[in-house]
Structure 1
């Protein structure tokens, strides 16, 4: 069966490199570099102590095997034991200090990574989010920060100490017997080279695993979000089949990677056995000739066990590092993707006096393939109330999204009080426009917080006043916790009409000079509509209002009706004029109207 759960085919093809992932991490590490350096220094100091302690063991066993009387050597042995205990105590203290500071360092950097990712992702365009699964985006941010944690742990507690241990062991053993040193160094180089080559080759499968995990999360999130639709339309079997396909694919790649890990473990075990054989073979030869002592045997064994443990872990360290890069790369792909819509270099604050809106020869192509608006011209005076009507797909909602710069015009200009919106800041543009969408989506926060989103600095009294004007108080005051009631994810605890009244209350509170109503009363019954129609009328007073509407009660109150079809303004006038103009599109829509609504269907013209 064809897999339907994949991101939009028009997504930008941008892929991050390893250096770009490192730079992204580096920018967040910079403010806390001193803490990170302290962790490395403490681990380095403890690592040097770990190298020196086996040297003391060598001396301990050399003294024991001299054949001297116990009473003569006991004081020297006791000094060595005390010295070893003291060094172990210092190493323990260094490791503990590193651990505590590392907790501060990593959590600070991880929080910064999440904040920067969150801020940059929210700056992407409407199209960006429309083309991607929400669950996948959430997963990317979370994995990005967790990947840094794994990467930092591996560098700080594995790779750096391993480097110190290899160098230290080489220096110590070279002074005793160069051949043994060369065997150990050769074994280490062979071990590390094998792991590096294998991990590099395996990286593409780690990336595939990360992508499969993102797809699985995205499909799961999509299904849970639409659980009601699945239940109502009997889609449980088909959705289960879709998810099983994704889960099976994820299991396949995960199983393959685990089998590869098993192969590398087997090869590593063979290399360990080989190294131990050659080391002890040469050690016995040298011992027989008197070149090395029993204490040197102990030293070699201690170093071999220590290096073996570090190197055995190194394969997992390399795997974790590459998996971290694979996980981090998914988010960095987004961080290096230029934001489609952002402030221009010469952007200035929008200054609104009258709120006049003008579209001049605007062209817009959806995904660069389908023409939505073509040579679109529309002028709205400051304070004028204009209804946009037309058949489905005519471009009404696109006009609103272009005005808010959710989309970018292909060519032409959109002006507010003779200021090109391309050259004003996005923040001030959107601060001066209040939108009441057709299907409001609320935060899983309290009703008070949801309404206050219209103007964050508003007092509780101002929020409640806006709620009363939008007739929200009628249902809010009947709730056990009133305005402190949580509305559920996306506002699921409220009806469609209640959510729309909350959106209207937001617009009332925002008090912007330009108002956009996208079917603001579409989810209201006649009683609810009558309650808030007066509030909407008051809200539109003294403001430029652009209303996408089908309700005749709303359309008739507008100063002008602009009829849009196939991306152009085809008619412009008042209801009384257009409704009697024989052969006009508005006349056809009016003729087909029923129940107080214009029909939103495509009509041949």
Structure 2
């Protein structure tokens, strides 16, 4: 089918190098448009012929009037001018529809949807691999809004520019040519208008661009504010701060409204100025044409041609004004998107990075130095090793640096100095995907994707069978509630959706799903960050059995504030102020009567049945 042929001219998901988009606006446009330059070239060529045909209308109209005036009698009109009239009919009935059809197929079927998808897909791929710090520095709603808006604005402005180019060149050029052919004096009002029109655009367009960029930033900020409120709706309700949140959103909406109003003021002023100079052009051209006719210098057909053409130029100039204004508004939106999207990745795979192989599971932190902002060091010369198959518990007060250590092992951040090795392989020199595929992790803040239980579990093992998933759920003591789940769309059991971040499940249920997912992954290195913090004591006792089975033959790092959950580990490492202050077994540390012993006493840890 014709539509499908044109829709398949562009593959928006084709493989391209995953490079950072340029930071300057014109190279940014070319970064994406060069991938579809052939389609744009065809659009430019077809647009040229379509514009020529549009201008030919007015030439035809003038000639018909002259033919009528010169005809000896109405009866002989068609016989005297049949070839000219047939040619006009061919142009209007065949050539015009053909070129307009090809133009619309190229623009709407080939470009409109595919180019937007291409830009969004490549930007999403790039942003998805940004470091964790990138996402912590901005609203999730703002980032997603900029990716969505940038793709649409880039496509819209690029197509508008291509369409406008020929309209301006062909209409103005043809008008000058035809006016010179009739009488060169007719070009004077048109040239004066052209100068005034260009000066109007030169004055207003840069100011419109600047204010449009401000308006786009305000719109993105508003989007981030609203999404942030909806994402944290539970906190909003718990603290009964609906009115406070309304004020927060109201302020963002007011800023966006004021920014939009300041932008539209310029548009209104530009429209009014254009209306005046267009009126002067139409009046002066028509008056001059009538004066020339009254002096027998031009024909009535020439008056029809001149008047019709300047009225068309008037309409075109208004359209061009809106196009130019729209293009620069889109430029503002794209520039706003560039600020977010075209950011270098702070954590990147090296060009020669190799996959990580973990035959054993030895982990070594070699004299590491790290800080988040290069001002306040978190770790200075931290040095320790974990043997293959060893179970380590990280202990310490809040802020001691336990989670940071885990984030560094996962290479969510890069070290300033030192190295972390797994089986003598520097994690900075292996691919990030292979590193994280060898590490299973259950966190205290278990957020599930807003998808089905099945899709969440398949994150652990993409090719897992249904029996494997059910087995993992049974091990995590999650099979009973999962099989009874029903969502609003009628999905049941494994196919039931869990809601955004898993909000339809309790904290304990989410954590059990997360444990099942890690059971499926079966990675050689396991990280448990408060893995049972959301479980009640009875369920925790049952889950501990599953975790102990999961930990078998694996290198384990466990973080817990409830010391009873890690007291049986092979070795405990006590951190304070980002330094190792104690290390040993539970019994050894109790005897030392240091920080660990004090923390244990605060929690009255004797109930686990361990001898002090």
TM-score of the pair, normalised by structure 2: 0.91
Identify the match of residue 227 of structure 2 among 221, 230, 236: 221
Q: Tell me the residue number matched to 1:29.
A: 33
Identify the match of residue 335 of structure 2 among 313, 324, 329: 329
CA contact (8 A) 2:131 2:346 kept: yes
Q: Tell me the residue number matched to 1:266.
A: 272
3-state secondary structure, aligned to 2:581: strand
CA contact (8 A) 1:442 1:490 kept: yes
Q: What is the CA–CA distance in structure 2 between the aligned matches of 1:207 and 1:597, rounded to whole Å?
A: 62
Q: Tell me the residue number matched to 1:99.
A: 104
Q: What is the CA–CA distance in structure 2 between the aligned matches of 1:151 and 1:597, rounded to whole Å?
A: 69
Q: Tell me the residue number matched to 1:239.
A: 245
CA contact (8 A) 1:551 1:596 kept: no
Q: Tell me the residue number matched to 2:599.
A: 589
Q: Map Cα deviations across residues 431-452 of structure 1 (whole Å, 9 max, x no partner).
A: 1111111111111111011011
Q: CA deviation at 1:54?
A: 1.4
Identify the match of residue 504 of structure 2 among 493, 504, 517: 493
Pairing 1:250-289 to 2, within 5 Å after superposition: 250-289=256-295
| CA root-mean-square deviation | 2.0
Q: What is the CA–CA distance in structure 1 between the aligned matches of 2:176 and 2:439, rounded to whole Å?
A: 70
| 2:396 matches 1:386 | no
Q: What is the CA–CA distance in structure 1 between the aligned matches of 2:140 and 2:328, rounded to whole Å?
A: 25
| 2:416 matches 1:410 | yes
Q: What is the CA–CA distance in structure 1 between the aligned matches of 2:33 and 2:464, rounded to whole Å?
A: 37
Pairing 1:480-519 to 2, within 5 Å after superposition: 480=486, 481-519=492-530
Q: Tell me the residue number matched to 1:200.
A: 206
Q: What is the CA–CA distance in structure 1 between the aligned matches of 2:460 and 2:549, rounded to whole Å?
A: 17
Q: CA deviation at 1:332?
A: 2.1
Greater Cα offset, 44-53 or 172-181:
172-181
Pairing 1:290-439 to 2, within 5 Å after superposition: 290-439=296-445
| 2:577 matches 1:577 | no
CA contact (8 A) 1:362 1:377 kept: yes
CA contact (8 A) 1:56 1:80 kept: no
Q: What is the CA–CA distance in structure 2 between the aligned matches of 1:216 and 1:161, rounded to whole Å?
A: 37
CA contact (8 A) 1:121 1:335 kept: yes
Q: Tell me the residue number matched to 1:563.
A: 574
CA contact (8 A) 1:378 1:569 kept: no
CA contact (8 A) 2:367 2:419 kept: yes
Change over 3 Å in CA distance of 1:352–1:120 after alignment to 2: same
Unaligned runs of 5+ in 1: 1-13, 599-605
Q: Map Cα deviations across residues 556-593 of structure 1 (whole Å, 9 max, x no partner).
A: 221000000111111100000101212x1111111211
3-state secondary structure, aligned to 2:592: coil
3-state secondary structure, aligned to 2:70: coil
Q: CA deviation at 1:500?
A: 0.8
| 2:539 matches 1:528 | yes
CA contact (8 A) 1:477 1:483 kept: yes
Q: CA deviation at 1:313?
A: 1.3
Q: What is the CA–CA distance in structure 2 between the aligned matches of 1:43 and 1:56, rounded to whole Å?
A: 20
Q: CA deviation at 1:92?
A: 2.3
3-state secondary structure, aligned to 2:526: strand
Greater Cα offset, 359-368 or 35-44:
35-44
* Pairs aligned (count): 582
Q: Map Cα deviations across residues 169-214 of structure 1 (whole Å, 9 max, x no partner).
A: 2222222222322431342243133213311122111000000001
Greater Cα offset, 299-308 or 384-393:
299-308
3-state secondary structure, aligned to 2:419: strand
Q: What is the CA–CA distance in structure 2 between the aligned matches of 1:496 and 1:142, rounded to whole Å?
A: 32
Q: Tell me the residue number matched to 2:9.
A: none
Q: Tell me the residue number matched to 2:5.
A: none
Q: CA deviation at 1:597?
A: 10
TM-score of the pair, normalised by structure 1: 0.92
Q: Tell me the residue number matched to 1:38.
A: 42
CA contact (8 A) 1:16 1:333 kept: no
Q: What is the CA–CA distance in structure 1 between the aligned matches of 2:336 and 2:556, rounded to whole Å?
A: 42
Q: CA deviation at 1:534?
A: 0.9
Q: CA deviation at 1:53?
A: 2.2
Q: What is the CA–CA distance in structure 1 between the aligned matches of 2:81 and 2:379, rounded to whole Å?
A: 91
